[in-house]
Amino acid sequence: MSGGPALPPDLAIREDVPLAPFTTLELGGRARLFLDATDGDSVWRAVRWADEMGVPLAVLGGGSNVVVADEGFDGLVIRVGIRGMAITTRDEHHAHLTSAAGEPFDALVSHAVAEGLGGLECMSGIPGLVGATPVQNVGAYGQEVAETIESVRVIDRATASTYTIPATGCGFAYRDSRFKREPGRFVVLAVVFRLPRHGGPCVRHEQVARALAAAERRDLATVREAVLSLRREKSMVLDPSDPNRRSVGSFFMNPLVTKDAAARVASRALELDLVRSEDEMPRFLGGPGMVKLSAAWLIEHAGVSRGLRQGNVGVSTRHVLALVHHGGGSAAELLALAAYVQRRVSDTFGVTLTPEPARIGHCV
């Protein structure tokens, strides 16, 4: 590494590595330094070396929820690939399923369903690795991982130590956590899930309920297949043949607003003749005094249509929440499209959409 500290000889750190191939968007520049870490000790030693040498550090998992800057990252990117999962304890009502951070999350969900363990089935098909799930508090179709996470094993860069954080210390909220609010401090090594045994599947979401209406049975496997089918219809399952495949899935989070703010949005929709009554605007309970609005509904009714294209990027032909890279584009193009969608929603409804994906490098 020209002009920088000597690379540690015991770690296979590479120089000048393109990051786009490690992301589902297939966008972004190069990492000055890059490490594929397949064991916890390598992650620990790489983190300590970077911190001691003052080298900027970024952590990459499955690359399914990240935007990499076109200029890349002028530091060390650690791609966490620690594998392994096992049921560590089991009692009459629950089992503890422990997974290393580098396990594909859908493989974990599939394993849980096969073992008759509930709590994850409605998150079937979500791409990415287990280590990212507590950071984003990943969720879908009425479930989120905060409901079943027992603890998270982390490297704490602030204290140069490794320890386990119980779920009560993770600060989980809608698509949020302590890990997300303290960016760069923690590196997730493993997650322990406490999953119910012998219980029925989760059928809270109306789309899942409709999909199961004609089903002969409602067990975990049936719900998993129904969710996978729903996600395929929206191009939300990784498929190399899908023209919408280069995306991060949902690019924006569903806005959480006060009840008064939700009422104002509904009134605005009525004023614009977008609904026949204010009750037609979808809204859901979002916690004490809060309401969750549908980002997809707001985007569509702000005049952004499926299949919209701006240069080499666009909106998915199957779901307005997914922004798609068609090939040959740039992160700057994608973020310009995201800003356009945000402006349309803000100008129409006075609601600010928050992007969901993390960013590596200086994205503008």
Query: What is the per-residue pLDDT across 31-61, written as a single tens digit (0 to 9) for each?
Result: 999 999 999 999 999 999 999 999 999 999 9
CA–CA–CA angle 298, 300, 303 (5° rounding): 105
DSSP reduced 3-state for 316: coil
Contact 76, 34 (CB under 8 A): yes
Contact 304, 320 (CB under 8 A): yes
Chain centre distance of CA 208? 20
Measured distance CA(170)–CA(232) in Å, rounded: 31
Q: In the numeric block, which tokens belong to residue 153? A: 């094993």
Q: What pLDDT score was predicted for residue 364? A: 60
The tally of CA atoms less than 13 A away on the side-chain side of residue 359 is 14
Measured distance CA(42)–CA(34) in Å, rounded: 13
Measured distance CA(237)–CA(22) in Å, rounded: 17
pLDDT at 3 over 70: no
Q: What pLDDT score was predicted for residue 5? A: 83
pLDDT at 1 over 60: no
Which of 131, 124, 37, 110 shows the shortest CA–CA distance to 76?
Answer: 37
- The full DSSP string for 124-177 is TT--SBGGGHHHHT-EETTEEGGGTEEEEEEEETTTTEEEEEEGGGS--BTTB-
Q: What is the mean pLDDT of residues 314-338?
A: 97
Amino acid 303 reads G
Q: CA of 137: how far to CAs of 42, 95, 144, 253, in Å? A: 26, 20, 6, 12
- Which is more confident, 256 or 3? 256
DSSP reduced 3-state for 323: strand
Model confidence, pTM: 0.92
Q: In the chain, pLDDT over 90 holds for what percent of residues? A: 85
Measured distance CA(194)–CA(171) in Å, rounded: 17
Q: What are phi and psi of 241, to 5 degrees?
A: -90, -5
Q: Which residues are catalytic?
A: 175, 250, 356
| pLDDT tens, position by position, 351-362 | 999 999 999 998
Running DSSP on this structure, what letter comes out for residue 45? H
Residue 290 binned pLDDT confidence (cut-offs 50, 70, 90): very high
Contacts of 11 (CB under 8 A, 6+ apart): 35, 42, 45, 46, 49
Q: CA of 83: how far to CAs of 120, 192, 229, 273, in Å? A: 19, 14, 27, 53
Measured distance CA(316)–CA(247) in Å, rounded: 9
> E strands of the chain, at which residues?
14-18, 30-37, 57-60, 66-68, 73-80, 85-90, 94-100, 139-140, 143-144, 149-156, 161-166, 186-196, 256-258, 283-285, 290-293, 309-310, 313-315, 323-325, 358-360
Q: What pLDDT score was predicted for residue 205? A: 82
| pLDDT tens, position by position, 326-337 | 999 999 999 999
Domains in the chain: ranges and CATH: 14-80 (3.30.43.10), 85-233 (3.30.465.10), 256-360 (3.90.78.10)
DSSP reduced 3-state for 346: helix
